[in-house]
Structure 1
Amino acid sequence: MKFQGRSTRKRTGGRRRHARNKRRHELGDEPTETEVGEQKLKFVDARGGTEKIRAIVTDVASVATDDGTVAAEIENVVENPANPNYVRRNIITKGAVVATSEGEARVTSRPGQDGQVNAEVLE
């Protein structure tokens, strides 16, 4: 099991072997691929006694408009710079452009980390 970032070779060209396995807090999680649909949340324990809320499925976004913030219905994903396949699969990540009842909006929050979709209307 390799540690991320560390080279497996020393400066001399010799092999560097890891001294121990990863601890639980050093393990990574599978990415939460938030889909469009009826809202479904998952609570996950994080370090320091805190909790993360993962949005597994969601259809509501808090959209910032010129008049203020409005709760809008998410219809589908229009564009996603993280992965072009996410558009076909309707997966929402930060930076994704979604079609809402208020018009197209760009997601500014991380739904897989904080369980909600915040977005701003595109002009």
Structure 2
Amino acid sequence: MALYHHKSKRRQSGGRRRPKRKKRKYELGSEPMPTQVGEEKTKKIRTMGGDNKTRLLKTNKANVTNPETGETNQTEIEEVTENQANPHYVRRDIITKGAIIQTKQGKAKVTNRPGQDGVVNAKIIN
């Protein structure tokens, strides 16, 4: 079932609010699809204007940049060590923007939104 972004049918006082028009397609939303560590798995979604968005459901690789040298290499993700979005995401190995992941090159901070971009980009931190 799709999510529908609209005003509530009830007012703050509890009274009924009557709709002025019917639902519009642009008001549709979708359930969140968190990116997890695992075998690569993506899903294509049609967006407004007929474009496509690649949702990254699972991945075990990340594009890691070393800020000192400017080099970017693809490396394996070992685990999620910290996630400020939700502390329970660490236990579930969910990757979001700002999450700190352990890679073969060391700890790295995710700089993009993997569920929106289809890849994980990160930079090495000390």
TM-score interval for Structure 1 and Structure 2 normalised by the shorter chain:
0.7 to 0.9
Change (3 A) 1:2 1:32: closer
- Pick one of 77, 87, 90 that aligns with 1:87: 90
Shift of 1:8: 4.6
**Cross-structure match for 1:58:** 59
CA contact (8 A) 2:9 2:16 kept: no
Report the TM-score when normalising by structure 2. 0.84
Q: Secondary structure at the match of 2:29?
A: coil
Change (3 A) 1:37 1:14: closer
**Cross-structure match for 1:108:** 111
Identity %: 51
Distance 1:7 1:64 in 2: 48
Runs of 4+ in 1 over 4 A off after TM superposition: none
Question: What stretches of structure 2 of length at least 5 have no aligned partner?
Answer: none
Q: Secondary structure at the match of 2:33?
A: coil
Shift of 1:61: 0.5
CA RMSD of aligned residues (A): 2.3
Report the TM-score when normalising by structure 1. 0.86
**Cross-structure match for 1:72:** 75
**Cross-structure match for 1:37:** 38
Shift of 1:15: 4.6
Q: Number of residue pairs matched?
A: 121
Question: What stretches of structure 1 of length at least 5 have no aligned partner?
Answer: none
Change (3 A) 1:22 1:104: farther
